[in-house]
Chains A and B, each alone.
Chain A
């Protein structure tokens, strides 16, 4: 899975660079305003990730494709340091994020209701999903200075979505197997294939908000310029709880890498 690689690579590079941190002066790389010990950071970054069930259920047999569409984040953070190492920050981040995935599933329980009609049962085959989201995130983070030039921040965030979509298709897997058993595994078998896939669009059932934990690392590359990486780990289901087409809770998990200007 590509996302795993991205996150592991990011983690390794952070650890490696941190381990080599120089013994720079704490003051030289501290808040630019030494009287208030506070300031602003303007961030711009590249956002990748996905909205996924965790842990991945046994019904999802394999993931054929996982390609983050590549999003973007711009934001403004205010911070204040209370001591040499500890501080707090809060911000407004505007983002676009999306992903495309194709997974093989087996006996994946699903049910869809539209216009008062319900179709459901157990699906075996290939499920392709595309998501897009535009929104704003407010993180409130505790900041800890690992070293003069390295900060780590951790804390809750809250997201509101201006617009979000979750749509896709179901059809046969690469072995040509694709069918729904209506209601139960002994119900009518309805074959599906890629020549006439069933499409779905759950945008009306997406939760308009999300919440979770953000973890961010900042490295002060220059006097005013940071390089940063962060992960927003969603702890709320992306889909409305009373919508049962997706049997699993889906969590938005996105990472952002970018540069920031520090006032």
Chain B
């Protein structure tokens, strides 16, 4: 009869069998690449340019080198997902095992192909790796938003710049595209069609009858609510959008500016604006009385390296206020300090019911002067030591998830005028 006493024991043993062996890693990313050159400052513009961290979405990794430098074989060090194996793919498709420190031939900007296979062997990713020579450029540029296409997933639009001064002088030939929050919106609204995104092209609706861009502040639905990000303001900017950290820290995920070797003095753009008809709302989605939404447009020039030689890249927290900023142009706004003209001396943006941005619902060209706090150092300028930001948003506090759903900013024919 004693066997009955063992019943509860048997039940317990059945259920609580210990955890099984850890599954092997399924991921196969290159997380960072370092090119092992002896004097990085002579090959690249900054010592830190010899190492690049690679976003999870990237499959093409380009290193910008000075236009007069010739490189051949360079030892390469990769950080990959633990347990993953890397192969170099030859021109004929044959693969050979890559080991950290192996030299790859980068002469004549030739592209090296790598394939990374996950620890569990079930997944692999292919990457392209090359060096790209910097191409000298003039300063002035026209950005007309005429060249756009769907992204690789076919979900949203991407705008490519075509003006050679913009491609070579600012955006870079490796990825000459405007950045915006569309990749983040895709996460929250998988069912959205390309024209349902916050940043979209409008064919034939520009002031000259060509295509323009429409930015709209949109509701992010149930998923946005899950992560306390209830809206997505349409945006267009020069820099990087780090979608990996868009949920973790949205302000940090928008990284502004790219190196520029000229002195911009004016930003001009054709704009029109329609404020959202829904009440201005805060991050929790609650309406805020007595606040009108406002659009934003700015150009910022900043020193991209600190005194210790570290990279400085502005993000959503400080794109208008970082002490490394040397010049700024922005649409007029109210600041906490009533005397302020620019955010740097403004003590913060002041939301109000009487905006002074001046953008109307009719197309009009606006010209903003760049106000410099200090003269640019020509030696630093020629060595890519300053970065330039151009940014547009349909809700000026959209980075903080504040604004009116439905606010719309239309943009076309943006020009940057440089003194030299």
Query: Is the CB–CB distance between B8 and A10 below 8 Å?
Result: yes
Query: Is the CB–CB distance between A115 and B246 below 8 Å?
Result: no
With a 10 A CB-CB cut-off, give which of B15, B25, B118 has the most chain A CB atoms: B15
Query: Is the CB–CB distance between A231 and B8 below 8 Å?
Result: yes
Q: Does B68 contact A (CB under 8 A)?
A: no
User: A186-B27, A190-B243 given as contacts; is B188 within 8 A of A117 (CB)?
Assistant: yes
User: A8-B12, A185-B118, A190-B243 given as contacts; is B222 within 8 A of A107 (CB)?
Assistant: no
CA gap between A158 and B64 in the complex, in Å? 68
Instruction: Please tell me which one of the listed residues A18, A54, A107, A190 contacts residue B244 in the complex, with CB atoms under 8 A apart.
Output: A190
Query: Is the CB–CB distance between A179 and B244 below 8 Å?
Result: yes
Query: Is the CB–CB distance between B247 and A215 below 8 Å?
Result: no
Give the Cβ gap from A199 to chain B, nearest Cβ, in Å: 6
Query: Is the CB–CB distance between B56 and A188 below 8 Å?
Result: yes
Q: Does A81 contact B (CB under 8 A)?
A: no
A residues less than 8 Å from B26 (CB atoms): 107, 122, 185
Closest to B13 in A: A8
User: A10-B8, A196-B228 given as contacts; is B123 within 8 A of A185 (CB)?
Assistant: yes
Instruction: Please tell me which one of the listed residues B4, B17, B123 contacts residue A186 in the complex, with CB atoms under 8 A apart.
Output: B123
Give the Cβ gap from A123 to chain B, nearest Cβ, in Å: 12
Q: Does B227 contact A (CB under 8 A)?
A: yes
CA gap between A170 and B9 in the complex, in Å? 34
Query: Is the CB–CB distance between B11 and A7 below 8 Å?
Result: yes
User: A146-B4, A193-B248, A215-B7 given as contacts; is B227 within 8 A of A198 (CB)?
Assistant: yes
Q: Does A253 contact B (CB under 8 A)?
A: yes
With a 10 A CB-CB cut-off, give which of A10, A186, A215 has the most chain B CB atoms: A186
Query: Is the CB–CB distance between A198 and B247 below 8 Å?
Result: yes
Q: Does B38 contact A (CB under 8 A)?
A: no
B residues less than 8 Å from A15 (CB atoms): 5-6, 8-9
User: A7-B12, A119-B187 given as contacts; is B125 within 8 A of A186 (CB)?
Assistant: yes
Q: Which residues of chain B from 241 to 268 have a CB within 8 Å of any chain A CB?
A: 243-249
User: A186-B27, A196-B227 given as contacts; is B222 within 8 A of A191 (CB)?
Assistant: no
Q: Does B2 contact A (CB under 8 A)?
A: yes
Closest to A62 in B: B19
Closest to B184 in A: A190
B residues less than 8 Å from A61 (CB atoms): 19, 22
CA gap between A253 and B228 in the complex, in Å? 33
Q: Which residues of chain A from 92 to 148 have a CB within 8 Å of any chain B CB?
A: 106-107, 112, 114-119, 122, 144, 146
Instruction: Please tell me which one of the listed residues A11, A192, A200 contacts residue B247 in the complex, with CB atoms under 8 A apart.
Output: A192
A residues less than 8 Å from B15 (CB atoms): 54-55, 233, 253
Q: Does A27 contact B (CB under 8 A)?
A: no
Give the Cβ gap from B187 to chain A, nearest Cβ, in Å: 6
Q: Which residues of chain B from 239 to 295 have a CB within 8 Å of any chain A CB?
A: 243-249
Q: Does B1 contact A (CB under 8 A)?
A: yes
Q: Which residues of chain B from 62 to 101 have a CB within 8 Å of any chain A CB?
A: none
B residues less than 8 Å from A190 (CB atoms): 187, 243-244, 246-247
Give the Cβ gap from B131 to chain A, nearest Cβ, in Å: 25
Q: Which 7 A-B pairs give the minimum distances between C-beta atoms?
A: A189-B56, A11-B8, A114-B222, A185-B26, A15-B5, A58-B20, A191-B248
Q: List, sorted by A's number, 25 A–B pairs whose CB atoms are closer than 8 Å.
A: A3-B16, A4-B12, A4-B16, A7-B11, A7-B16, A10-B8, A11-B9, A11-B11, A15-B8, A55-B20, A58-B20, A58-B23, A62-B19, A107-B26, A114-B221, A185-B123, A186-B27, A186-B124, A188-B187, A188-B244, A190-B247, A192-B248, A196-B249, A198-B226, A199-B226
